[in-house]
Amino acid sequence: MTTAMAWRGSLSMGLLVAGSLCLGCGSSSGDGSDGSAPSGGGSENLGSTQAGGAGSAGTASTTAGSSSSSAGANSGAGGSAGSTTSGGGASANGGAHANGGGGGTTSGGAGGASGGAGNGSAGSAGAAPSGKTEYAPYYEIGSDTAAFKSLTDLKTKAGVSDVTLAFVLSGGGCKTDSTIPDDMTEIKAFTAAGGHVKASFGGADGTYVEAGCSDASSLATAISNFVDSTGITDLDFDTEQAGVETSAVNTMRGQALKMVQDSKNIQVSFTLQTDESGLDKGARSVVSAAVAAGVSIYHVNLMVMDYGDMPAGTAMAPIAIGSLNGANTQLKAIIPSLTTAQAWAMLGATPDIGQNDDNEVFSLQDAKDLTTFAMQNKLGLITFWNIQRDQVCGKGECSQFDNANFDYSNIFKAVAQ
């Protein structure tokens, strides 16, 4: 089986942070181990769509999934049987939909036998996800060779209102670096203009924060301090280095994220390695450990890129779609309460636009085909590496296949319209 290769370095030129997206080597074998579904977790923050899972018979309402909401909250579908008042799904901050199933144990599931009855029979599997796919291309902090001069300039010129900031790494030991805090003036200007940012921890290069932490409590403190210093609660964990995909580190990370989710209401997503069949073995272990720790996972984002020297001219969208189909099945094995629609709402896709680090080219037609698939299946997230490369060549990095600046973005952003 062809597997993805760890060749993201060439796209990191000019990056002031030692991090970049990539796919690691290694084939995928078998299904991921089933993890127990998380019990609620914290509230959902600033996202698009998240589905809660099915509840077990007669369970009482969970407490962790619900939260007060500030903007555009949507209550999820509740448990159907045995309650005089159907159990409401958790409300979500920033317009996210939390479609919690009755008695649901996945994110947002506050339902079940709530209301006057107190005890009920099995809740229904969560309602089909609604709302638009989130679109948040990667923004490479430190790269100043784009077709825009700042985040607010990007918003004006390209109509991009959501970005994924890359990357948060260790600042020495068990603490985060200053890359994003040093850029807060620009980030605050962007959010003040109506933009939204998520911060991505990790990447292909550099030292991860969790690599310098000895236990879950210290890692939770490091993540909490980052949240306090930046105000960013939408967090992505781009976990692709072998040394931080061990059972011990995965367990520590999961426990730490659960602590911070409970105390800071962070939204947790993972960006992970894939092959043609779906998430690779290491990626599945990251998700399973987080689920076992009780983390409410918002998105599981697949790096659909660098599959390993495909023949020239190979269409990449069908391969990416094959990975997503495989991952949908895998997620339902890890979280058995998920329906197919709910699994799609959790999944995301991140291609590397244009020329990849091997022979592959993710073309404009591939972008159109992946966008169509995302809209048809109500995929939770579309992003790409990276918005600085989405320009006609001539200044800095480029996709090598843009006919005009923001060609790829103009295709992908249709998912959020």
Task: Give the pLDDT of residue 21.
Answer: 59
41 within 8 A of 296, measured Cβ to Cβ:
yes
Q: Tens digit of pLDDT for each residue in 136-176?
A: 999 999 887 899 999 999 999 999 999 999 999 999 999 99
- Between residues 397 and 111, the one the model is more confident about: 397
Q: Tens digit of pLDDT for each residue in 27-59?
A: 333 333 333 333 333 333 333 333 334 333 333
Q: What are phi and psi of 406, to 5 degrees?
A: 70, 25
Please give the DSSP secondary-structure letter assigned to residue 17: S
CATH number of domain containing 262: 3.20.20.80
Tell me the residue range of the domain where 224 lies: 132-416
**Cis ω on the peptide bond leading into residue 167 (within 30° of 0)?**
yes
CA–CA separation, 121 vs 81, rounded Å? 5
Q: pLDDT band for position 253 (50/70/90)?
A: very high
Report residue 291 as tokens.
């689920």
Please report, for residues 110, 245, 322, the alpha-carbon distance to residue 237 in angstroms, rounded to integers and kept in the order given: 25, 12, 23
> Is 211 part of a structural domain of the chain?
yes
Q: Do residues 137 and 73 both lie within one domain?
A: no
163 within 8 A of 151, measured Cβ to Cβ:
yes
Q: At what angle do helices 184-192 and 151-158 cross, to 10 degrees?
A: 40
Cα dihedral sign, 250-260-199-71: positive
> Is 335 part of a structural domain of the chain?
yes
**What average pLDDT does range 19-30 have in this prediction?**
41
219 within 8 A of 182, measured Cβ to Cβ:
no
> Is 27 part of a structural domain of the chain?
no
Q: Do residues 140 and 54 both lie within one domain?
A: no
Number of domains the chain contains: 2
Task: Give the pLDDT of residue 47.
Answer: 35
End of a domain among 82, 104, 129?
129
Q: Do residues 257 and 367 both lie within one domain?
A: yes
- Averaged confidence pLDDT in the chain: 77
> Is 21 part of a structural domain of the chain?
no
Q: Do residues 122 and 196 both lie within one domain?
A: no
H or E element at residue 227: helix 216-230
Report residue 265 as tokens.
């209401």
Please give the single-letter amino acid code of residue 180: I
146-151: long-range pairs with CB below 8 Å, 24+ = 146/387, 146/388, 146/391, 146/396, 147/390, 147/391, 147/392, 147/395, 147/405, 147/406, 150/186, 150/189, 150/190, 151/186, 151/187, 151/189, 151/190, 151/195
Q: Do residues 100 and 192 both lie within one domain?
A: no
Please report, for residues 41, 59, 336, the alpha-carbon distance to residue 342 in angstroms, rounded to integers and kept in the order given: 17, 21, 11
> Is 146 part of a structural domain of the chain?
yes
Q: Do residues 279 and 333 both lie within one domain?
A: yes
> Is 280 part of a structural domain of the chain?
yes
Q: Tens digit of pLDDT for each residue in 185-241?
A: 999 999 999 999 999 999 999 999 999 999 999 999 999 999 999 999 999 999 999
Please determine, for residue 98, whether its predicted confidence score (pLDDT) is greater than 80.
no
Q: Tens digit of pLDDT for each residue in 183-194?
A: 999 999 999 999
End of a domain among 102, 129, 156?
129
321 within 8 A of 373, measured Cβ to Cβ:
yes
State whether residue 201 is helix, strand or coil. Answer: strand
Q: How far is CA 300 from the centre of its chain?
A: 5
Q: Do residues 113 and 138 both lie within one domain?
A: no
Please determine, for residue 384, whether its predicted confidence score (pLDDT) is greater than 60.
yes
Q: Do residues 95 and 156 both lie within one domain?
A: no
- CB-count burial class (<10 Å; 0-12, 13-18, 19+) for 37: buried
**What average pLDDT does range 356-367 have in this prediction?**
94
Please report, for residues 73, 103, 276, 323, 388, the alpha-carbon distance to residue 99 in angstroms, rounded to integers and kept in the order given: 11, 12, 29, 25, 35
121 within 8 A of 57, measured Cβ to Cβ:
yes
**What average pLDDT does range 335-350 have in this prediction?**
97
Q: Tens digit of pLDDT for each residue in 262-285?
A: 999 999 999 999 999 999 999 999
CA–CA separation, 81 vs 83, rounded Å? 6
70 within 8 A of 91, measured Cβ to Cβ:
no
- Between residues 143 and 296, the one the model is more confident about: 296
Task: Give the pLDDT of residue 358.
Answer: 86
Q: How far is CA 151 from the centre of its chain?
A: 21
Please give the single-letter amino acid code of residue 158: A
Please determine, for residue 106, whether its predicted confidence score (pLDDT) is greater than 70.
no
CA–CA separation, 318 vs 311, rounded Å? 14
Q: Do residues 152 and 141 both lie within one domain?
A: yes
Q: Do residues 201 and 336 both lie within one domain?
A: yes
Q: Do residues 295 and 193 both lie within one domain?
A: yes
CA–CA separation, 106 vs 400, rounded Å? 42
End of a domain among 101, 129, 157?
129
Please determine, for residue 101, whether its predicted confidence score (pLDDT) is greater than 80.
no
> Is 8 part of a structural domain of the chain?
no
Torsion of CA 267, 271, 277, 283, to 10 degrees: -90
Q: Do residues 149 and 296 both lie within one domain?
A: yes
CA–CA separation, 107 vs 299, rounded Å? 11
> Is 3 part of a structural domain of the chain?
no
Please determine, for residue 396, whether its predicted confidence score (pLDDT) is greater than 80.
yes
